[in-house]
A and B are shown apart, each in its own frame.
Chain A
Amino acid sequence: MGGLVRDILTSLRASYMRELRAYFATPLAYVFIAIFLMLVGVFTWEASRFFDTGLADLQPFFYWHPWLYMIFLPALSMRLWADETAFGTSELLLSLPVSLFGLASGKLLAAWTVAGLSLALTFPMWITVNYLGTPDNGAIAITYLTSLLMAGAFLSIGAAMSSLFSSQVLAYIAGIVVAFVFTAAGWPMLVGAISGVLGPAAGDLFAQFSFLTYFETAQRGVLELRALLYFAGVILVWLALNTIWVANKRAVAP
């Protein structure tokens, strides 16, 4: 058991460092972060008209996070496994006697680090709101934390999709589709349609699988155990799927 954990940790550390270097050695991570920062700013200041609300809280800023993650994070994760196939390194990687779960976790963690860095770099928004008034910083901190967890959930979906496809574009599209399902499950249009066909209980049930449902409470400054368990569950499930899908490639490899 101890050996297994050690194997996982070793391969996790190795793949984490390798992926992180890959992100920052090319302009990819920088471009990603720059565009993310700009868009989150545009949505907060222009679409939600943050300044005109006259209120020193970050609701208009956090409101867009699930939707921006849905579009952006699959772009960050699409290369995680698809790149290996494209560069021909996957065969070498899969032939190594390393823990696939550790590998997948390391890759996910590297992408999560970039996403976390992007989120952390939105700190001028937090400074701004403190400069303009006296916001509820406890509530803001908890919303940031939940947003980071939600980013991990989005990335785990994207990483798993990347392991299914050898094309980055296909991995990106598939990532967005699945992420959309998990986001829009709490979307009124969809919930309304499900309620109409299967009844309101089914609509409520469906909404239980939406990131929006769990993020909504966090935005009020309340940390729920079920939100923590849900996001952790999503990450673990997609990490597990990622691992078995990669393992399958190793098994069927000639």
Chain B
Amino acid sequence: MTPRAFLPAATALILAVFVAATLIIYPLTRPVRIDFTQNQLFSLSSETKTVLDELREPVELTFVYTRQVGQDYPQVRAYASRVRELLDTYQAVAGSALRIEEIDPQPFSQAEDEALAAGIQAVDSEGDDPLYFGIIGRNTVDEQRVLAFLSPDQEETLEYDLTRLIARLDRPDPPMVGVLTTLPGMQEEGGYTLLREMDRTFDVVQVNEDFFSLPDGMDALIMIHSPELSDWQSWLIDQFVLRTGRVVMLVDPATKTAPEGLTRRSERRIRSDLGRFGPVWGVTLSDEAVADTETALPIQAPTGGGRSGIVRHPLFLSTPPGMMSEGSILTAHLSRAVNFASAGALQLEEGSPITKEVLIETGTAPSWIDAETAVTDISVEDTLALYEPTEGPKALAVRVHGTLVSAFPDGQPDPVLPEDPVMAEFAAAAIAEAKPHIGSSERDAEILILSDADLVDDGLYVDMHRQSAFADNGALIMNALDMMSGDANLLGLRARASSRRTMTRVEAMRDEAQTRFFDEQAQLETRLSEAEARLAELLQADSADESVLDRAAGANLSPDQQEELSALRLDVMETRARLRSIERDFRREIDSLEAWLKFINIFAGAIIIGGIGIFVWWRRRRTVTS
């Protein structure tokens, strides 16, 4: 072969070897990867391996993905590849107990019908055809569970979602969780994210407000701002606690999200408490709400002068993992804060024989705020004005466990039957089936009490735009329910969700500026109102018969008074100008930081390196010339 003929042949051969090698190596080395992220976000956890190892019956997963449409979205395409790889890894661990299939639902095909029938979400794409991107899971008894749409934004929770789906299919009878609440978001279909989350894992049963019996076979009960209970209802719950002992209670002295009363629309039942159980368990809820400047949550609120901005509101608390118990399985793995809105404080009775553990508490100097005031849209400024620091942190979440005694020492109370005869008959039938009274726990109780009912509200922890949580409110309650229903594997998994790494320095600067802003603003406003009051006083002393214009001119005042009037007007003007300048200062430092960092990162390096280049060029020219 001549050199000229050799060249194209060798080039083609090398390129062909490269193409072939890439095609072979790509699928072969797919699982070999090292996860360098701090929280090992992209590695299979030991909890997932345990769930897969312990699969009792085969589970079948169908990955539904419209490839043609997905190609147009690089994020979706990359994520689809990641899902495929994760499924392969699952299969490698589970072996024959897990069957994986992939379908590509073409428009108007049988696969599309199958996907839609299973509940896979058809997402509108910019093209004509919808994007299907989800997973259908089935078990041997043809029970079906679906991840309707796999959003690339939620990659951190992919493993949790998938493992939960498998665990749920492996256990055809999910634990039954009863919900007793007056918050509409926890009752309605399409309500709060937490309810939907619970619905995916448990068999959720709503307990009617006027119940005369609790559902049979209920494994756990969650009470969120529950209605005022009759003696009979309290007794039913008391007996459930003694027999089954699995309860999550969210009580609140000032529920911002509580619905208005049905009879008198202006009236809201803002308070719920532990009722008869408090004294027996040795836990009571404060009458007032707590505000805490140390854990104040940044929220969008008016900042004065008709503007709104991000400000830290002491009535909205954000307790970081550092303020939670590290020893409890419920909070140890939480990586993000738990947010509260006008929460109360749980007071633990000294000397009570019941074992209690504080899981979450406030900062060291919180303040009491009247509950009636706390439920209103009180501003940060007004809250700070009412702020009177108390000593020591207040408990926001408490775990009660161990053997309990009945809150009804005299036994079963007499039920009050409804007036409606039909309802009375139903009630009587339910009452007749009630189990006999027991005086102490048949099984050690496991109770989680939280001093805020608003924390289940989406607004406090879910970014609705990204459909992802920014705080661990939901995770805390799901952890409790998982623990109570014996699915401890999911607890560790949920904790792996990454926390958003925010620019903490910028947040701190904003907070500091805000504190300065409010202090000085308050002083200036006091000065302003004093000056204006004195001004009004002086003008009042002026003749009442004069026209407004003349009065404003202060024509009838003595020279001394006129001098004071001028000085006051000047003071008012200056104070107002200073107030405006403070508002500008509020943002100035952050803007200045951005400008400096931008300059350093865009120009400083370039200028230094360019300068060295010019120097080298100049030296070289001088050497050549000489």
Contact = CB atoms under 8 A, between A and B. Distances in A.
A124 interface: yes
Contacts of A212: 74
Given A244-B11, A248-B7, A41 B602 contact: yes
A225 B29 contact: yes
Contacts of A122: 605
Nearest to B605: A37
B197 interface: no
Given A56-B501, A208-B23, A124 B610 contact: no
A238 to B, nearest CB: 9
B501 A134 contact: yes
B49 interface: no
B92 interface: no
A91 interface: no
Contacts of B506: 54, 132
A31 B14 contact: no
Contacts of B36: 138-139, 141-142, 221-223
Contact of A139 (B38, B77, B81, B607): B38
Interface in A83-112: none
Nearest to A130: B505
Contacts of B82: 217
Interface stretch (A4-12, A21-29, A69-77, A168-176): A21-29
A16 interface: no
Nearest to A44: B601
B502 A54 contact: yes
Contact of A121 (B72, B104, B603, B609): B609
A216 B605 contact: no
Contacts of B614: 27, 30
B33 A224 contact: yes
A122 B602 CA distance: 10
A234 B37 CA distance: 27
Interface string B492-522: 0000000011111110000000000000000
Nearest to A220: B42
Contacts of A252: 3-4
A216 B604 CA distance: 29
Interface in B31-82: 32-38, 41-42, 67-68, 70-74, 77-78, 81-82
Contacts of B74: 186-188, 212, 216
Contact of A26 (B503, B602, B617): B617
B72 to A, nearest CB: 5
A216 B155 CA distance: 14
A221 B41 CA distance: 9
Chain A's interface size range is: 35 or more
Nearest to B65: A200
B108 interface: no
B616 A24 contact: yes
Given A128-B600, A226-B29, A136 B37 contact: yes
A34 B610 contact: yes
B601 A27 contact: no
Interface string A124-136: 1100100111111
B605 A124 contact: yes
Given A133-B503, A138-B36, A240 B14 contact: yes
Nearest to A53: B503
B38 A38 contact: no
B268 interface: no
B21 interface: yes
Contacts of A34: 605-607, 609-610, 613
B534 interface: no
A245 B4 CA distance: 10
A31 B610 contact: yes
A224 B14 contact: no
A30 B503 contact: no
A207 interface: yes
Nearest to A51: B594
A209 interface: yes
B609 A33 contact: yes
Nearest to B25: A229
B569 interface: no
Interface string B66-107: 011011111001100110000000000000000000001000
Contact of A38 (B14, B78, B505, B602): B602
B609 A192 contact: no
A20 interface: no
Interface in A124-183: 124-125, 128, 131-136, 138-139, 141-142
Contacts of A54: 502-503, 506
Interface in B1-18: 3-4, 6-7, 10-11, 14-15, 17-18
A195 B22 contact: no
Interface string B582-608: 000000000000100110111111110
Nearest to B6: A248
Contacts of A38: 602-603, 605-606
A195 B605 contact: no
B21 A233 contact: yes
Contact of B29 (A136, A201, A224): A224
Contact of B71 (A41, A121, A192): A192
Contacts of A216: 74, 78
Interface of A: 24-27, 29-31, 33-35, 37-38, 41-42, 44-45, 51, 54-57, 121-122, 124-125, 128, 131-136, 138-139, 141-142, 186-188, 191-192, 195-196, 200-201, 203-205, 207-209, 212-213, 216-217, 220-226, 229-230, 233-234, 237, 240-241, 244-245, 248, 251-252
23 contacts: A31-B610, A31-B613, A34-B606, A34-B607, A41-B598, A45-B598, A45-B602, A51-B594, A51-B598, A54-B503, A132-B504, A188-B74, A192-B71, A195-B71, A209-B19, A209-B22, A212-B74, A216-B74, A220-B37, A222-B34, A229-B29, A233-B25, A252-B4
Smallest CB-CB A-B distances: 10 pairs? A30-B613, A41-B602, A200-B67, A225-B32, A34-B610, A38-B606, A221-B37, A138-B36, A132-B503, A27-B613
Given A37-B605, A195-B71, A223-B33, 15 more contacts: A31-B610, A34-B605, A38-B603, A41-B602, A45-B602, A128-B597, A132-B506, A195-B67, A200-B104, A221-B36, A221-B37, A221-B41, A222-B36, A229-B29, A241-B14
Interface of B: 3-4, 6-7, 10-11, 14-15, 17-19, 21-23, 25-26, 29-30, 32-38, 41-42, 67-68, 70-74, 77-78, 81-82, 104, 155, 500-506, 594, 597-598, 600-607, 609-610, 612-614, 616-617, 620
